[in-house]
Amino acid sequence: MATVITSVALHWADILVLVAYFAIVIGFGSGASNGIGVAGFELNASYVLMILGWVFLPVYIKADVGASLFASNIGSGHFIGLAGSGASNGIGVAGFELNASYVLMILGWVFLPVYIKADVYTMPEFLKKRFGGDRIRFYLTILALLLSIFTKISVDLYSGAIFLNQALGWNMYVSVIALVLLAAIFTIGGGLSAVIWTDFIQTIIMIISAFILMIICYVKVGGLQLIKEFYPYAVSDTTLFSNTSCGMPPEDYFSLIRPLDSADGPPWVGIIGMTILSIWYWCSDQVIVQRALAAKNLTHARAGCIVASYIKFLPIFLMVIPGMVARILFQDEIGCSTPEACDRICGNKASCTDIAYPLIVIKLMPNGLRGLMLACMIAALMSSLTSIFNSSSTIFTIDIWQRFRSKAPQWELLVVGRIFTLILVGISIVWIPIISAAQGGKLFDYIQAVTSFLAPPICAIYLLAILWKRINEEGAFWGLICGLVIGLIRFIWEFSYSVPSCLYSSTDTRPQAVKFHFLFFAILLFVLTCLVTITVSLLTRPIPEQCLHGLNVFDLNNLLKPTPIPTKPGRWHKADTAFEDKNIQPKSPIYSISHVESTAIFLYIYTDRSKKNFAYYLKLAVSWICGVEHQGEDDDEAAVVPALPPLASENEFWKSICNINGGLIIAFCVFVWAFFTDYRIDKMYKST
């Protein structure tokens, strides 16, 4: 890989901040996970969290559910991807973020009432109550692992590698290996405790730094109007002095809504596809929904959705437009138009637009603050990787390994989980070259494309589940399977072909099916999944009425509790909707432990502490590497943490405030879409 020419030497103040920041994060996380010494005794981190929760939980829930939703969503991939797409195609990519604003209203006013009425805390738990059986949960496990590889681990490693590549001039793979080693140190040194203690503050620092950088960018160019005027002329010398349109910004660069045949941004019909992807992410993803379910009541949860919706208007100004500024200021680097030039500049023959945000961080931010933002970005990435490593290994061992090894000892589960994590990392590293070349070298488009191939079936099932009682487990399962098969075929087909550069577009031999826009494919896949699900459900036995009380948006006032749906014996654990005819009492599911609960299991293998010989310390070292917790002397006497006080009832005043703000957000979304749209409407239909 070519040596990049865009990196600059870090100031000593930046290096000092980087080292200090990581030392503090790892040290503090290690202290939090191992116990904090206070007045001669150890105060375990769980008790610290418990005490802080009792004291600050009411304030936190009221103010920060929305911020927590946003913090769970935002990361280095957003900064890299949104700014990169902004540099490449203008503000069109901001439509994905604006779309989330009104989908969060769907979460608060459509999905959350059903989840809260069902009294569930995880999404697999809801599907278990709604459909019964364990087949759908197994499907979700497979899908979660696929998404972990192709949209989380590999994307995080690629994003972090770009930052290190620009900051230090390191080769991409050297950067990736450094990130993996850092993640290992972060996991062993602090683990999930470090994530708990640092995630929120890192998000705050990133957003404040992004505001500072945004102001610097606007001042450098002269304001939004001048950005709009200068951007179409931000072309490299290679493009300027050649007889080609390659490397030229699209003419509708300042429009959120693009023509049907647009190759440079989301086409206008694609807004439906965006909504499908957003509903999957914001309304059915466990990481997101559990933030909203942590609220005191439905009103507070809706207030959190409102806060997150308002915050989601920021990325267009904090990330997308600064990416456009990066192209204006560094047009030769960002706007390279030939594979040779791009490879020389950033080491990626497809495009260099993804270096837009790291480049302005490195070249525009003041000394010291530059180091803080780099440290925060990389530390946030470490937090994300740590969470993904832990959750992926837990999901695999609990939902897959135990299905075939039901009596596996706990130490085996931990070792298998660590080995599986290494396999995930290996596959993700091998996948990175495909990410860098996919979708014309635009990271955010790659993420949305992969999501379009895999997520629409989930969106379809959740929508049908809460809207129509007639949908049963058979229909949902086979709808998901058909959707997965079709999505995987498109996924494999998509990445079996390399996308030729703009200069050689006339030699593009890819089939038309592969060129079919991923947002259009998301709509098609959603419709096909719905058709299969509805057809199979209508042809099979319905779920008994008493099993569906309160599990539907039209049945929220039902005061009866739903009867659990029993599971048929056998390897696939189907739902038994005919249990009434057999006079069978519903039984508990065989895999009843939730992903959240499973991460809290502590595995102890030390039974004899009196003999601290070589074998003891060898066992200690192996356990440390595998992640087995060491039981302290007093752990046997640990008391069960008492439950928090009962949740407060809803307040009619705040309920009205939420409803008013929900309407304002919808209106503001419409205004922003209209404001950032090219009004030459005839262009929208030019391909028809």
Contact assessment for residue 433 and residue 349, using Cβ atoms and an 8 Å cutoff: no
Sole residue written with tokens 């959190």? 304
Beta bridge partners of 36: 43
The residue among 476, 468, 512 whose CA lies nearest residue 494 is 512
Q: What is the pLDDT of residue 637?
A: 39
Residue 17 has pLDDT above 50, yes or no: yes
Any idea what the Cα angle at residue 93 is, between residues 89 and 96, rounded to 5°? 170
What letter represents residue 147's amino acid? L
Three-class SS state of 43 = strand
Any idea what the Cα angle at residue 37 is, between residues 32 and 41, rounded to 5°? 125
Percentage of the chain exceeding pLDDT 70: 76
Alpha helices (H) along 312-368: 315, 321-329, 331-334, 339-346, 356-364
DSSP 8-state secondary structure symbol assigned to residue 634: T
pLDDT band, very low/low/confident/very high, at 189 (cuts 50, 70, 90): low
Q: Residue 328 — left, alpha, or beta (φ > 0 → left; ψ -120 to 50 → alpha)? A: alpha
Q: When comparing pLDDT for 649 and 346, which is higher? A: 346
Residue 638 has pLDDT above 50, yes or no: no
Residue 296 has pLDDT above 90, yes or no: no
Q: What is the pLDDT of residue 141?
A: 86
Measured CA distances, 95 to 250, 258, 270, 635 (Å): 16, 11, 10, 51
Alpha-carbon distance of 428 to 622, in angstroms, equals: 25
Q: What is the pLDDT of residue 260?
A: 79
Q: What is the pLDDT of residue 490?
A: 94
The residue among 104, 102, 105, 111 whose CA lies nearest residue 73 is 104
Q: What is the pLDDT of residue 222?
A: 92
Enumerate residues 6+ apart whose C-beta is below 8 A from 284. Answer: 111, 123, 458, 459, 462
The CATH T-level fold of domain 12-601+651-685 is Sodium/glucose cotransporter (1.20.1730)
pLDDT 10s digits, 639-672:
333 333 333 456 788 889 999 999 999 999 999 9
What is the token pair recorded at 669?
Answer: 């979304």
- Helix, strand, coil % in the chain, rounded to nearest 5: 70, 0, 30
Q: Is 175 exposed, middle or buried (0-12, 13-18, 19+ CB in 10 A)?
A: buried
pLDDT band, very low/low/confident/very high, at 610 (cuts 50, 70, 90): very low
Identify which of 126-135, 228-237, 304-313, 519-528 has the greatest average pLDDT: 519-528
The beta strands (E) that lie in 380-449 are given as none
Percentage of the chain exceeding pLDDT 90: 33
pTM for this model (two decimals): 0.83
DSSP 8-state secondary structure symbol assigned to residue 209: H
The residue among 323, 311, 321 whose CA lies nearest residue 83 is 323
pLDDT band, very low/low/confident/very high, at 8 (cuts 50, 70, 90): low
pLDDT band, very low/low/confident/very high, at 44 (cuts 50, 70, 90): very low
Three-class SS state of 224 = helix
Residue 607 has pLDDT above 70, yes or no: no
Which helix (H) or strand (E) covers residue 36, if one does?
Answer: strand 36-38
By mean pLDDT, which of 304-318, 414-428, 655-669 is the weakest?
A: 414-428
User: How many other CB atoms are there within 10 angstroms of residue 616's CB atom?
Assistant: 14
The residue among 12, 563, 525 whose CA lies nearest residue 276 is 525
Three-class SS state of 258 = strand
Q: What is the pLDDT of residue 73?
A: 83
- CA 168 to chain CA mean position, Å: 27
Q: What is the pLDDT of residue 470?
A: 94
Beta bridge partners of 42: 37
Contact assessment for residue 227 and residue 221, using Cβ atoms and an 8 Å cutoff: yes
Read off the pLDDT of each residue in 561-580 and give the average, rounded to a whole number. Answer: 74
Q: What is the pLDDT of residue 634?
A: 43
Alpha-carbon distance of 353 to 345, in angstroms, equals: 11
Q: What is the pLDDT of residue 26?
A: 66
Identify which of 138-147, 288-297, 359-368 has the greatest average pLDDT: 359-368
Q: What is the pLDDT of residue 48?
A: 40
Q: What is the pLDDT of residue 570?
A: 65
pLDDT 10s digits, 138-161:
888 888 888 888 988 889 889 888
What letter represents residue 454's amino acid? L
pLDDT 10s digits, 232-291:
999 988 787 777 777 888 888 899 888 877 767 778 888 999 999 999 999 998 888 888
Alpha-carbon distance of 121 to 128, in angstroms, equals: 12
Alpha-carbon distance of 198 to 183, in angstroms, equals: 14
What is the token pair recorded at 114?
Answer: 């059903």
Alpha-carbon distance of 160 to 175, in angstroms, equals: 8
pLDDT band, very low/low/confident/very high, at 125 (cuts 50, 70, 90): confident
Q: What is the pLDDT of residue 660?
A: 94
Q: What is the pLDDT of residue 616?
A: 53
Three-class SS state of 664 = helix
pLDDT band, very low/low/confident/very high, at 469 (cuts 50, 70, 90): very high
What letter represents residue 587's amino acid? K
Q: What is the pLDDT of residue 29?
A: 58
pLDDT 10s digits, 67-116:
778 877 888 888 999 999 999 999 999 999 999 999 999 999 999 999 99
Alpha-carbon distance of 211 to 201, in angstroms, equals: 15
Q: What is the pLDDT of residue 101?
A: 93
